[in-house]
Amino acid sequence: MPFASRPVCPAPVGAPGSACYTIRIHSAGGRPVAIIRKKTGNFLEDFRIGSVLRHKVGKTVTEGLVNAFTEFSMTANPLHKNRRYAQLFGYRDMLLPPGLVMAVVFSQSVEDISENARANLEYVDMRFGAPVHVGDTIESTSLVLGVTPSSKDKTLGVVHVQTTGRNQHDVVVLTYERKVQVWKHDPDAEVVKASTSAPAVACELVLPPYDPATPYRTVAHLSNADTYFEDFTAGDVIEHSRGRTMTAEHIALTATLDNTSQVHCNQHMIDQNPERFVGGQLIIFGGIPFQLCLGLSCPDVADNSLGDIVYRTGRHSAPLFAGDTVFARTEIATARDLAGRPDLGILDTILRGHKFVAKNGAAEKVEIFYLERSIAVKRRSHYA
């Protein structure tokens, strides 16, 4: 059987190394009659404007997932860790942190949208809806909003999608747009630039009502005393003190999310063509620095937040690798009222992640993450 010697996971022409397909050899009468290369995931030419991709598998959130993909981030908001606290605030149970909700929905979309991606370019208008708890089942869909072939490189182009995750009651928990640079499978395939506008998706952060009879102050010592809405002013800049070194643990963390992208877990593929991959090594899945920057910044800006409302835009400014230590910084852009909720205020912030890279004997600071993030923060007047 000559097929057995075929290299596994060969790179299709024009998609240098980052794409895979399954080889399926059909037989009849005991002899191979057809070799089918079944593409894993979609390539640029496979996307059709307006089509809806219903992503596979789905995921019921377990205490195992939450422990693995929350705690590594060093988040400190008791809503994610302390049932007594969460229930006193009116939630059914502890909440998944926003970075985990994002990572679950995003990962469900990977096989269909970005398994053959070169780079993730931008998150746009990411909004959170119903709270997510252990036991909820999340399923996701993506709507194709745009396809733009590269004018410079015939092997590449940009796909623009709107991805939405829903729980078992068909209620939206997250929606966002994403722009991603995707390989073509056949560099000569014709791809015509096309786009459509994003439809409105009803998705607003669900907040429990403020109840003056609830003894919120009895748990005020569980969060910081200087992170209420009143403590922030537009223009404030906070360099968060803590750092966290990521290790090869990222491979298992990514698998925990059902993220199938091979650039995070297939070292053999990288070793075959190291120069074709960013950094020539396994790259850490973006959901990890995303969650980590939210976590590292939490004790200084978000441990008195009731939730993340919207991320207007976000991007991974540079790749992250095993061994890198991540730090974070928050800038307060605006502090404003939240209509109808005198107990809360909105902080519009810019969250940046960075790492240090050795250069000429010194450690050079490199930005790895940028997120425009708006959160609903408790007012001291009502809660402490």
Strand partners for 74: none
Structure tokens at 69: 């993909």
Asked if 66 touches a copy of itself (CB under 8 A), the answer is yes
Asked if 211 touches a copy of itself (CB under 8 A), the answer is no
Nearer to a copy of itself, 195 or 273 (CB): 273
Q: Which of 42, 73, 109, 142 binds a copy of itself (CB under 8 A)?
A: 73
Site string for a copy of itself, 296-335 (x = CB under 8 A): ----x--x-------------------x-x-x-x--x---
Asked if 51 touches a copy of itself (CB under 8 A), the answer is no
What sign for the dihedral angle of Cα 114, 118, 124, 126? positive
Asked if 255 touches a copy of itself (CB under 8 A), the answer is yes
Q: Which of 192, 200, 202, 237 binds a copy of itself (CB under 8 A)?
A: 237
- Distance of closest approach, residue 286 Cβ to a copy of itself, in angstroms: 18
Q: Which of 162, 260, 291, 305 binds a copy of itself (CB under 8 A)?
A: 260
Q: For residue 107, which of 363, 291, 274 has the smallest C-alpha distance?
A: 291
Asked if 363 touches a copy of itself (CB under 8 A), the answer is yes
Backbone angles phi, psi at 342, to 5 degrees: -65, -15
Q: For residue 124, which of 165, 181, 179, 173 has the smallest C-alpha distance?
A: 179
Q: Name which of residues 150 to 209 contact a copy of itself (CB under 8 A).
A: 168
Q: Which of 282, 284, 338, 347 binds a copy of itself (CB under 8 A)?
A: 282
- Distance of closest approach, residue 35 Cβ to a copy of itself, in angstroms: 9
**SS3 of residue 102 by DSSP:** helix
The span from the CA of 248 to the CA of 60, in Å, is 25
How many C-alpha atoms does 160 have within 13 Å on its Cβ side?
15
Asked if 89 touches a copy of itself (CB under 8 A), the answer is no
Q: Which of 51, 63, 274, 381 binds a copy of itself (CB under 8 A)?
A: 63
Q: Which of 16, 49, 82, 350 binds a copy of itself (CB under 8 A)?
A: 82
Alpha helices in the chain (DSSP H): 63-71, 83-88, 98-109, 249-256, 267-272, 287-301, 380-383
- Distance of closest approach, residue 193 Cβ to a copy of itself, in angstroms: 29
Structure tokens at 47: 């996307």
The span from the CA of 122 to the CA of 370, in Å, is 10
- Distance of closest approach, residue 101 Cβ to a copy of itself, in angstroms: 16
